[in-house]
Structure 1
Amino acid sequence: MTKRGYTISQMSEISKISKKALRFYDDLGLISSKRHGTNNYRYYTQEDLLAVPPLKYYKQMGFHLGEIRAAFEVGSNTSLTALREMFMDKIGALHEEEKVLHERLTSVRDWLELLHEAEMVLENSLQSVSVKYVQPDKLLFHEQIFTLDIKSAIINLEFTNYVESVENSITGPVIIYFSSIDDRIRDVEQKMQVLQKTIFPCQQNQTRDFGGFLAASCYHIGPHETIRDTYRKIQRWCAANNYICDKSAYERYVTDFWTTSHEDLFVTEVIAKVSRPGSVRRPLEQE
């Protein structure tokens, strides 16, 4: 092998590593420089240069510098057992990082989708009733009593604690199931369920079915205190268009207290199951 020496500038240019990083690696003992006897300048050998690709590959695999130094030390031994154990430990750590990254990416993407939806609703003032098929899903749920404090129902500390207790994370819009549309219009206490999608799988007894039915849907824009007007609009529309409206309903919060303090930017989708007279109705779980 050639005994040619490289200055730190040459080493930096060839290896594509900054001189500052090379000095740092030198201090850590990862790529150690030599010193000229006459002027004490740093210089590197061909052997030092060939240490660069393994270093970069270890960094690609997610090893920290301390781990790389340990791996280099272990790799100098004749046994590969310790090195294999290091790689197995790293795989376990990377799986944990992957889980955290998946959680964060899913949460951000789902929230971004809600912001896009709210912008479209607000820009086009979409407040007409329409019939749609609600895609079936299984959501984490928690039964509570609606005490007329809608902000505490949406930003729900009890539900947050429950999610943590089942060791999961939530994403997407908060959905509240109200057992009585009439009680919601009259603004009286009633049974409710808080529902939300989870990032990781749930046990079957922790979820309830949502969707899989035909529904009258209408966006409500603005404060939740006036949402009774949207419920009445749905009831009038169903009567005029020969639909039977269910006694219960869902409120799906697209933008709310989680997103903004400006109530004029609140967007809530009211969803009520409907059917035609004489059709076979599949009862909801709560009925």
Structure 2
Amino acid sequence: MKDKYYSIGKVSEICNIPIKTLRYYDKINVMVPNLRQENNNYRYYSHDQMVRLFIIKRLRYLGFSLEEVKNILKENDIKNIEVIVEEKRNSIKAEIDELNKKYEEAATFKNKIHVANMILENSGNYNVDNSFRLERQREVYVFGKTAMMQSYKNENVNLEKWIDIIEAAKERNLNIQGDILVSYHTEMFGQFINRDCEVEFSIVVENNVEDVEVKKFGGFLAANAIHVGEYSDIIHTYISLKRWIEEKSLVVNGPVTERFMLSPVDLPNTNSHIVKIIVPVKPTI
């Protein structure tokens, strides 16, 4: 017996498979020992079974379920086995692609938190006027949807539209690269006066020229301001920014956009929320 068979302990040691797992394989008929002593129920495996256990271990490592393993071990047509393995390879590739997307999204989120943290660290000395900047808006790609909002009053963030745009981007397999943008296609302050307003909700994504709803945002001269804290107070930042624009002999030259650098869909603490107001401008004639 010692020359032909291996005890369950020896098999576990050689194959590096826990005894508990070997017993489970026996129970569900994945690998039933060739020999079982009636007096003590000790299990013994043949050399051929050792080889098959290595095959099982490899298939399990590749992600095959135990039911799939059983079917492969029963399969005699090598062409069918090739098809099964190719399907698994494609499945693994899809998992890798999905993990890469998650990795990129996590990197984007980490960078968002890092930038916001730098702003918040200086919030003790924060002054709205100090945040005003005149700069050319960097071009990014965005995926967005426009909606006519009835009797719109910009006091609260429209989370329903935000969630919709994020889910729509994921359904299109777009790689999210940055923040949510909300653009108001009305005159400056028009979003605050409780009337119908065309609002565009978008999110920064990786360039995808194949999607007709992905377009460029930016490339224009803008007066920018940073608003920290409660969103319902943002109108005061708008008023100060408008005054600053006029002092610089500039005029508004397009829809105002709010870039939510840290928002309710990122962290719940409203005191840490950060919104960048982007106002396209041009010099007065």
Q: TM-score, normalised by structure 2?
A: 0.79
CA RMSD, aligned part only?
A: 3.3
Change over 3 Å in CA distance of 1:61–1:114 after alignment to 2: same
Stretches of structure 1 lacking an aligned partner (at least 5 in a row): 279-287
In structure 2, distance between residues paired with 1:154 and 1:213:
28
In structure 2, distance between residues paired with 1:235 and 1:149:
17
Aligned to 2:179: 173
Aligned to 1:163: 168
Tell me if 1:46 matches 2:47. Answer: yes
1:248, distance to aligned residue in structure 2 (A): 2.1
Matches within 5 A, 1:110-189: 110-125=108-123, 127=128, 128-146=131-149, 147-148=152-153, 150-151=155-156, 153-156=158-161, 159-160=164-165, 163=168, 167-168=172-173, 171=176, 172-179=178-185, 180-184=187-191, 188-189=195-196
Task: Decide whether the 8 Å contact of 2:162 with 2:201 is kept in 1.
Answer: no
Aligned to 2:64: 63
Aligned to 1:231: 238
In structure 2, distance between residues paired with 1:72 and 1:10:
23
Name the aligned partner's letter for residue 177 of structure 1: S
Partner SS, residue 189 of structure 2: helix
Report the identity percentage: 20
Change over 3 Å in CA distance of 1:7–1:95 after alignment to 2: same
In structure 2, distance between residues paired with 1:202 and 1:25:
51
In structure 2, distance between residues paired with 1:11 and 1:71:
22
In structure 2, distance between residues paired with 1:22 and 1:124:
60
Change over 3 Å in CA distance of 1:170–1:156 after alignment to 2: farther
Name the aligned partner's letter for residue 219 of structure 1: I
In structure 2, distance between residues paired with 1:101 and 1:234:
42
Q: Deviations over 1:66-96 (max 9, x none)?
A: 112211211xx2x312112212332343344
Q: Deviations over 1:90-117 (max 9, x none)?
A: 2343344345434444444433332333
Task: Decide whether the 8 Å contact of 1:3 with 1:46 is kept in 2.
Answer: no
Name the aligned partner's letter for residue 136 of structure 1: E
Change over 3 Å in CA distance of 1:224–1:38 after alignment to 2: closer
Partner SS, residue 156 of structure 1: helix
Aligned to 1:87: 85
More deviation in 147-156 or 222-231? 147-156
Partner SS, residue 155 of structure 1: helix
In structure 1, distance between residues paired with 2:209 and 2:161:
19
Q: Deviations over 1:203-249 (max 9, x none)?
A: 54323321223433222111222212222333333344455543422
In structure 2, distance between residues paired with 1:161 and 1:112:
17
Aligned to 1:257: 264
Task: Decide whether the 8 Å contact of 1:251 with 1:270 is kept in 2.
Answer: yes
Task: Decide whether the 8 Å contact of 1:220 with 1:230 is kept in 2.
Answer: yes
Change over 3 Å in CA distance of 1:243–1:59 after alignment to 2: farther
1:118, distance to aligned residue in structure 2 (A): 2.4
Aligned to 2:8: 8
Stretches of structure 2 lacking an aligned partner (at least 5 in a row): none
Change over 3 Å in CA distance of 1:132–1:44 after alignment to 2: farther
Tell me if 1:196 matches 2:203. Answer: yes
Task: Decide whether the 8 Å contact of 1:183 with 1:189 is kept in 2.
Answer: no
Task: Decide whether the 8 Å contact of 2:145 with 2:165 is kept in 1.
Answer: no
Residue-pair matches, total:
274
Name the aligned partner's letter for residue 9 of structure 2: S
Q: Deviations over 1:177-209 (max 9, x none)?
A: 112223246565422211113579475432332
In structure 2, distance between residues paired with 1:255 and 1:246:
26
1:155, distance to aligned residue in structure 2 (A): 3.2
